[in-house]
């Protein structure tokens, strides 16, 4: 996938997609599979906004039984099974545990009934749920004795261990099928001709060039920025800022759901006593999610130290035995989500929005609140595009086609690597792992980890720059590789990655120092927590 922003100006596309997050990238993949000529514009890096910040859960839908939303349970289960099939290196089933207590909604009787219904709706043997004993709960969640718990309910969600690489894989697949994709190209407005939208005006944020990208249909998948691109006439949804923490302790063997102690007054977005989750991830634990109303413009603001500490405190209140301390926080994930009631301050339950697809001649606007169902919703949006183009509707092609890297791995290509490095490459690149290793072309150094404290190999940096459009050290550290995803990378690892990038991107010494500083900027707030 090569960045060729100027050619965006010269093409005429069936579909111009604005936004390279989970929704836009999935739409680009589906539309390319259907044979549409696609342009994909991303103002930052692919999957650099909300999609980078998910709690990594692909929901199996058990939670939607609370509201008896059976259609949503089925959709989530189906989507989980599809993602495990088309991206098996990135998405796998993950047990999820809810401790049972008392005789009410969280009691064993009620949850046995819920699990029974869930299993009836569930066609997939490996995703079935069951009640578990106190002993099994202790094995899965050894960090806490959970006084008062009578056992647990166990079902399966999925874990997308690298939530940035799934949208990237959609974009890579789309580019292989002829889509023209470019990061750091911002859509600045809509082009209108003869009463319909006929493309977008755009600015290349790297060169400063401005141009038009013409298309028969434009799809806005710009998440919280949709309204900015669409203009004044679209209702601006209220936004919530959502926050997760990464702590440097391995707390649980499965995802664990706990009830938050916070009431309605302290948690106005969700209405109080929401479920909070601990997710085992990369030998550490993700804690989430906290929500607050966000009143600024998207992109203006980030998380503040007090809210990071407040979320840690909330987990300690929910489960005092955890005794989590601020110095265990090694990173955070933060992003914006649309709220259910456009333009109004929600009074609890505000995150209930499922998905929205709006339409005007030449324009489709797609918004969703879940990473889990992004592919399915994107397919619906592409159906609408096909409707506007007068093309026949088709079954979802991306439900069957493996994503880039999703096809089986040939172990022969990795045979010369140490087992840990081969396993690491397989987890990141799936069936393309051998091709990534081959980029070392006999230069043994590129098959070595960048530093003793990271599994990332030099050849991954080459892959990122030469084939995945990485433009900055931060792109490599946060999104192409696992270098900085779960905590601050070491100076040695960052400098090694920078040294591989510099000659390929023409960086002089001063630029390299700037890149290093920018790559470390997201971790600065951690100093304020100590």
Ligand X SMILES: Cc1cc2nc3c(=O)[nH]c(=O)nc-3n(C[C@H](O)[C@H](O)[C@H](O)COP(=O)(O)OP(=O)(O)OC[C@H]3O[C@@H](n4cnc5c(N)ncnc54)[C@H](O)[C@@H]3O)c2cc1C
Residue 24, interface with ligand X (CB under 6 A)? Answer: yes
Residue nearest to ligand X (CB): 21
Residue 8, interface with ligand X (CB under 6 A)? Answer: no
How far are the Cα atoms of 59, 128, 240 from residue 369, in angstroms, in the given order? Answer: 12, 25, 11
With contacts defined by CB under 6 A, how many residues of the chain interact with ligand X?
A: 42
Residue 61, interface with ligand X (CB under 6 A)? Answer: no
Residue 54, interface with ligand X (CB under 6 A)? Answer: yes
Distance separating alpha carbons of residues 11 and 18, to the nearest angstrom: 16
Distance separating alpha carbons of residues 372 and 71, to the nearest angstrom: 14
Q: Compute the least distance from the CB of residue 55 to ligand X, in Å.
A: 3
Distance separating alpha carbons of residues 376 and 159, to the nearest angstrom: 17
What kind and span of H or E run contains 255?
Answer: strand 255-259
Distance separating alpha carbons of residues 128 and 118, to the nearest angstrom: 8
Distance separating alpha carbons of residues 152 and 101, to the nearest angstrom: 8
With CB under 6 A as the contact rule, the residue among 32, 43, 78, 260 that binds ligand X is 43
How many H-runs (helices) and E-runs (strands) does the chain carry?
15, 17
| Interface region with ligand X, contact rule CB under 6 A, candidates 17-25, 173-181, 300-308, 314-322 | 17-25
| Residue 81: Cβ within 10 Å count | 21
Which ranges constitute the DSSP H helices of 177-332?
226-230, 305-318
Q: Compute the least distance from the CB of residue 233 to ligand X, in Å.
A: 16
257 touches 275 (CB < 8 A): yes
Torsions phi, psi for 51 (to 5 deg): -65, -20
Residue 260, interface with ligand X (CB under 6 A)? Answer: no
Say if residue 76 is exposed, middle or buried (CB neighbours under 10 Å; 0-12, 13-18, 19+): buried
Residues 219-238 that bind ligand X (CB under 6 A): 221-223, 225, 229
Nearer of residues 88 and 368 to ligand X, judged by Cβ: 368
What SS3 state is found at 298?
coil
Residue 267, interface with ligand X (CB under 6 A)? Answer: no
With CB under 6 A as the contact rule, the residue among 32, 53, 285, 471 that binds ligand X is 53
Residue 382, interface with ligand X (CB under 6 A)? Answer: no
From 101, 153, 105, 151, select the one nearest 128 (Cα to Cα). Answer: 153
Structure token digits, residue 60: 């199996």
Q: Compute the least distance from the CB of residue 223 to ligand X, in Å.
A: 3
Binding mask 330-349 for ligand X (x = CB under 6 A): ---x-x-x------------
Binding mask 158-197 for ligand X (x = CB under 6 A): ----------------------------xx----------
| Interface region with ligand X, contact rule CB under 6 A, candidates 15-23, 115-123, 387-395, 465-473 | 15-23
Q: Compute the least distance from the CB of residue 377 to ligand X, in Å.
A: 9
Residue 471, interface with ligand X (CB under 6 A)? Answer: no
Q: Compute the least distance from the CB of residue 450 to ligand X, in Å.
A: 26
What SS3 state is found at 211?
strand
Which residue ranges make up the site for ligand X (CB under 6 A)?
Answer: 18-24, 41-44, 48-51, 53-57, 59, 186-187, 221-223, 225, 229, 242-244, 288-289, 333, 335, 337, 368-372, 374
């Amino acid at each position: 996938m090569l960045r060729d922003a100027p050619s965006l100006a010269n093409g005429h596309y069936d579909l111009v997609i604005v936004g390279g997050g989970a929704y836009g990238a999935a739409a680009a993949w589906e539309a390319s599979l259907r044979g549409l000529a696609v342009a994909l514009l991303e103002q930052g890096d692919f999957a650099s906004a909300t999609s980078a910040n998910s709690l990594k859960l692909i929901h199996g839908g058990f939670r939607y039984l609370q509201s008896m939303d059976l259609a949503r349970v089925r959709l989530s289960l189906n989507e989980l099974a599809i993602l495990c099939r088309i991206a098996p290196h990135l998405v796998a089933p993950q047990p999820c545990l809810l401790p049972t207590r008392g005789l009410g909604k969280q009691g064993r009787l009620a949850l046995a009934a819920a699990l029974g219904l869930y299993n009836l709706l569930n066609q997939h043997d490996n995703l079935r749920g069951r009640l578990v004993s106190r002993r099994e709960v202790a094995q899965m969640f050894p960090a806490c004795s959970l006084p008062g718990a009578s056992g647990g309910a166990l079902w399966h969600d999925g874990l997308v261990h690298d939530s940035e690489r799934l949208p990237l894989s959609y974009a890579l697949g789309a580019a292989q099928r002829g889509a023209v994709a470019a990061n750091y190209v911002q859509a600045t407005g809509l082009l209108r001709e003869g009463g319909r939208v006929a493309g977008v005006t755009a600015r290349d944020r790297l060169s400063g060039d401005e141009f038009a990208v013409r298309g028969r249909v434009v799809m806005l998948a710009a998440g919280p920025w949709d309204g900015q691109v669409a203009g004044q006439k679209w209702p601006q949804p209220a936004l919530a800022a959502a926050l997760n923490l990464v702590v440097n302790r391995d707390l649980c063997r499965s995802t664990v759901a706990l009830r938050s102690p916070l009431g309605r007054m302290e948690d106005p977005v969700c209405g109080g006593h929401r479920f909070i989750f601990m997710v085992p991830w990369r030998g550490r634990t993700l804690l989430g999610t906290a929500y607050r109303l966000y009143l600024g413009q998207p992109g203006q603001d980030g998380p503040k130290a007090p809210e990071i500490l407040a979320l840690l405190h909330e987990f300690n209140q929910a489960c005092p035995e955890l005794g989590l301390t601020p110095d265990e926080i090694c990173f955070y994930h933060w992003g914006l989500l649309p709220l259910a009631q456009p333009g109004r301050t929600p009074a609890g339950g505000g995150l209930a929005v499922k998905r929205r697809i709006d339409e005007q001649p030449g324009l489709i606007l797609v918004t969703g609140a879940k990473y889990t169902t992004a592919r399915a919703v994107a397919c619906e949006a592409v159906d609408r595009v096909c409707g506007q183009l007068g093309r026949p509707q088709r079954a979802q092609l991306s439900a069957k086609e493996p994503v880039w890297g999703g096809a089986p791995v040939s172990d022969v290509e990795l045979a010369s690597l140490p087992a840990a490095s081969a396993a690491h490459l397989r987890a990141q690149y799936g069936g393309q792992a051998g091709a990534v290793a081959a980029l070392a072309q006999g230069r043994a150094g590129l098959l070595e980890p960048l530093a003793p404290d990271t599994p990332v190999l030099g050849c991954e940096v080459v892959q990122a720059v030469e084939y995945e459009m990485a433009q900055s050290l931060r792109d490599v550290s946060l999104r192409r590789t696992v270098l900085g995803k779960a905590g601050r990378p070491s100076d040695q690892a960052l400098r090694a990655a920078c040294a591989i990038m510099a000659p390929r991107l023409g960086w002089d010494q001063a630029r390299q120092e700037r890149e290093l500083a920018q790559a470390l900027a997201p971790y600065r707030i951690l100093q304020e927590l100590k």
